[in-house]
Structure 1
Amino acid sequence: MRIIKLDATESTNSFLRDLSNKNSLEDYTVVVAKQQTQGRGQRGTVWNVNPGENLTFSVFKDFLDLKIEHQFYISIAISLALVDTLNAFKIKKVSVKWPNDILSENKKLCGILIENVIKNNALDSSIIGVGLNVNQKIFINLPRATSMALQEQHLFELDEVLLVFLKHLKDYFKDLEAGLLSKLHTTYETHLFRNNKPSTFKNAEGLVFSGFIKGVSPSGHLQVLLEDAILETFSLKEISLLY
């Protein structure tokens, strides 16, 4: 496993993607940056963190013809690896807010950005970007953000956290490549934020409505039980969970 450490870069995902375009990369090549000047999150959001206080990194993962219809299991494996990592450091009440935001006591600790490379109608590789709030204690205008240090009232060693995560990531990707999809899916749903609880949502048109999260489909769509016992499925672009 190769770990490349940078003082600063626009985006670790972009840096790793450019590197993969020029070279044949070793599986689990990692790029870690103390500062990202143009870090990105889901839905085009910006991921801003204080330099040197948190983990902003990307991992290159090669796949042997993983089926396109199974690509959400990449997100599942990463989410579960982060849950296990945070549990290893005794972080309280860790959960996964669909599809892959990692929470502690209802506040966001971590975001994930996955960029898949598809060749010959199969998933060839992925670049996995992770932004994990570790030691930052002040988040301006982000009332729902938190960090490991805020949750546990002490600082953490960044390299140690990274290595624990990579170990868990390898374990879950072994399960994925072994075809243990049902096991991964069941475990993911046990950690799903507000699963089987009344929740409030907003659709793409801005309409707010209520329902019960009943799980996630194998393709990654959120399953919500609405009024009159109607079970609907929603993609990431169609719905957001308000909390």
Structure 2
Amino acid sequence: MYKILANTLFLGKDVIYLPDCHSTNQLAMEMLKDKKVAEGSVVITDHQTKGKGQRGNTWESQEGKNLTFSIILMPRFLDAMDQFYLNMVVSISILEAIDDIIAGLKVKWPNDIIHQYDGKIAGILIENIISQSKIESAVIGIGLNVNQRYFQTETATSLSNLSGFDFDKHAIFEKLIQKLEFHYLELKKGNRKSIKDQYLKNMYRYHEMGDFEDKEKFKGKILGVKEDGRLIIEKDTGSQNYYAFKEVKFL
């Protein structure tokens, strides 16, 4: 069971726990539209049967082993065109919540936390409601692999697999929520540069040559991200290119 968090200002003051749930993001979105939840509410489950990933992908999670939850925010201070800052805030919050457990973790653009040698450990799905060019509300879905040892996909791993130990999910959840509140409030204050700097500092393949594929395979170097979230890659031919989600593949 998940308790109301004592060490936060507004995140996690309302924790809605369900033993089973089709999708915490979908449920949170329904509750938000029905005006049944306040900003900072968290929907969390031990067993997500139809977890959603980016662009219709599914999220595999063994019952009771991982953290699968959604947070409701109302970032009306943020323009729709700047919504990728929410992604950056969530990414660095996850990293900071688990960096004392596992070294070698990186943010893989746009929405994955990976171990640079052993696979994906967390995923982020943000669904926004836009009103008059502002973000009226946002549902932040997070899936973090904690104690699961076996996965159907070879590209997934967990804290337990990487360390050889099992962890207290509740403690990690509380720390993650605290980190997220801190960085979200920094974003609200307008401290965008520090948020982006931290994101880039922890970005997979940032300023390193690597193999990619758009319509063809190429070698390139990630230079950063645009305000709208597009990835900036400099090809070895010298051209600079901008990619939206699913327009480029890491090889």
Task: Give the Cα separation in 1 of the matches to 2:60 and 2:155.
Answer: 14
Matching of residue 65 in structure 1 with residue 74 in structure 2 = no
CA distance in 2 between counterparts of 1:46 and 1:80 reads 23
Matches for 1:125-144 after TM superposition, within 5 Å: 125-140=137-152, 142-144=153-155
Q: 1:234 aligns with which of 238, 243, 246?
A: 243
In 2, Cα distance between the equivalents of 1:83 and 1:240? 23
Q: Distance in 2 between matches of 1:76 and 1:8?
A: 29
Q: Report the secondary structure of 1:25's partner residue.
A: coil
For residue 153 of structure 1, report the CA deviation from its aligned partner. Answer: 1.0
CA deviation after TM superposition for structure 1 residue 24, in Å: 4.3
The number of equivalent residue pairs is 238
Match of 2:197 among 167, 186, 189: 186
* Residue 45 (str. 1) matches residue 57 (str. 2): yes
2:42 alignment counterpart: 30
Q: Which of 97, 102, 106 is equivalent to 2:113?
A: 102
Q: Quick one: which amino acid aligns to residue 147 of structure 1?
A: S
Structure 1 residues 51-70: Cα deviation after superposition (integer angstroms, max 9, x where no partner): 00001110001123311121
Paired amino acid for 2:199: Y
Structure-2 separation of matches of 1:156 and 1:23: 35
Q: Which runs of 5+ in 2 are unaligned?
A: 1-12
Instruction: For 1:228 and 1:92, locate their aligned partners in 2 and report how far apart those are by CA, in whole Å.
Output: 34
Partner in structure 2 of residue 209 of structure 1: 218
2:52 & 2:237 partners in 1: Cα distance?
Answer: 39
What is the rounded CA distance, in whole Å, between the counterparts of 1:19 and 1:48 in structure 2?
Answer: 24
**In the TM superposition, what whole-angstrom CA distance separates every residue of 1:155-176 from its partner, at most 9, and x where no partner exists?**
1111111110000000110111
* Superposition pairs of residues 220-231 of structure 1, within 5 angstroms: 220-231=229-240
Which has more strand, going by share of residues? 1
The aligned counterpart of 2:161 is 150
Amino acid at match of 1:162: F
Q: How far did 1:215 drift? A: 1.3
- The answer as to whether partners of 2:28 and 2:43 remain within 8 angstroms in 1 is yes
* CA displacement, residues 34-89 of structure 1 (integer Å, 9 cap, x when unaligned): 1111111112111011100001110001123311121100000000000101113x
Instruction: Please report how far the alpha carbon of residue 227 of structure 1 lies from its aligned counterpart in structure 2 after TM superposition.
Output: 2.7
After TM superposition, give the deviation of residue 99 of structure 1 in Å.
Answer: 0.9
Question: Does the alignment pair 1:174 with 2:185?
Answer: yes
Q: Distance in 1 between matches of 2:234 and 2:33?
A: 44
* Stretches of structure 1 lacking an aligned partner (at least 5 in a row): none
What's the CA shift for 1:105?
Answer: 3.3
- Sequence identity (%): 30
Alpha-carbon distance in structure 2 between the residues aligned to 1:10 and 1:165 = 23
Q: Is the 8 A contact 1:92 1:105 kept in 2?
A: no
